[in-house]
A and B are shown apart, each in its own frame.
Chain A
């Protein structure tokens, strides 16, 4: 058998009863369409609705095969799913783009990315990143810029990203400033993003002598007022976070402080 012979293989072990991966290798020319059709009949007989076509080992594809994929895609869209391409080489990607396939199909770097996109779009799964950094103000700008890039990358607007960046900046600055001042003390930030909201959780160890002051600053009557005196040089952080977010919760104990902020997608 030639190295370029067309082979196909279905796998469904990617987590999710509705997901199937069809790996197509070799040359997919006009003579391979019958084989493609047989495999799609098998897939259609199953309960799969989201099909990832893994083209990482595809050598060439004819335009007629692309037309077949368009027909199959329609079938899976009607089932509430889709058909997407993953792992395309530069050559295959260029050819499909020239044929206009990028306007119909989504292209992903690899199968994992395609399945992650499915879980994000259809299952509303969140993505979370946790960062732990030493309590030092110099390290806050990289953290807030990371938060901004993360939410932009997940499709949020520049405005939302800027607001998230401001929230992260304020909460982390507070954590550094009011946290315990000892070598090795760290600030822990967790950012969870889903299609509708961003949850930000920042934890740090509190200095025991500051616990009472922190509680005073964050008690309900203080939270109810967004007013900061015109001569006050400090203290705008919490008011700003409340203004930019949809929910904020502060938990202060002798062991540490945890601030949880929720920001809903605006645009």
Chain B
């Protein structure tokens, strides 16, 4: 029996950078068993890696015991990745909003003290990036990547 699209895989992971390589590999394998190419899976791995890294590094206000939620909605022609964290400091959130705004407008990102390449790479590999911050600072990043071979 074939997999029926769309379907969702959800992962709740601890705020620990160590765990990201296993998670991104998991997403890649899920995509490959769902009929996506190895190239698509590898590029999606990079997206998952970058946004989970950001969520853990900047967005886990629960401290070291915080959690991050990753949802992958797999459609026949695209992948939607949603990463939700507990929200970081207001400076982190403002920085993220500004980075997403600039990414949408095709502007270069400001020269931050450290890092900053993650969203640039996600921008290169995806069609859309959206951010949503609710009243409790819970931050969601939503990325869509279209399949190239359909």
Contacts and interface: CB of A to CB of B under 8 A. Distances in A.
A136 B1 contact: yes
A131 B9 contact: yes
Contact of B22 (A112, A133, A134, A146): A146
Contacts of A15: 63-65
B38 interface: no
Classify chain A: how many residues form its interface, as a range.
20 to 34
A165 to B, nearest CB: 13
B121 interface: no
A2 interface: no
B37 interface: no
Interface in A112-140: 112-113, 115-116, 119, 127-134, 136, 138-139
Nearest to B33: A138
A150 interface: yes
B111 to A, nearest CB: 15
Interface string B8-36: 11111111111101110110011001100
A155 B55 CA distance: 25
B19 A150 contact: yes
B90 interface: no
Contacts of B33: 138-139, 141-142
B3 interface: yes
B10 to A, nearest CB: 4
A230 B14 CA distance: 44
Interface in A1-44: 14-15
Contact of A113 (B8, B17, B34, B63): B17
Interface in A39-79: 56
27 contacts: A15-B65, A112-B15, A112-B16, A112-B56, A113-B18, A116-B18, A127-B16, A127-B19, A129-B12, A129-B19, A130-B11, A131-B9, A132-B9, A133-B10, A133-B30, A134-B3, A134-B8, A139-B9, A139-B30, A141-B29, A141-B33, A142-B33, A146-B23, A146-B25, A146-B26, A149-B25, A153-B22
